[in-house]
Amino acid sequence: MDQALTQRVKAAGAQFLRGGAYKPRTSPYAFQGHGESALELLAQARVVTGLGIITEVMDTADIDKVASIADADFSR
C-alpha cells in the first residue's frame, strides 16, 4: 500500500482506512480482489499510520482472517 497516500489520509483527519480486500463479483471469471495479500497491506498501513482498518467479509470462510485485521466490530 502506498505509504505516502495513507499518511495523507491520516493528515486529512481520517481515523480509519477502508479497503476492500475481497471484491464482490457478478461473474465467476471477474476479478475477485487481492484477498489475503490485501489484508496484509491493510495491516501494514495500520502499523505505519495508526489508522483503524475497516474492510468487508464476502465469504463466511474468511471471517477469521478479516477479523484478525479489521478494527471495527459490528457483531452486536
DSSP secondary-structure letter at 26? S
Tell me the pLDDT of the chain (76 aa) as tens digits.
688 888 999 999 999 998 888 877 788 788 878 888 999 999 999 999 999 999 888 889 999 999 999 986 655 4
The overall pTM is greater than 0.75: yes
CA nearest 1: which of 27, 53, 59, 40?
Answer: 40
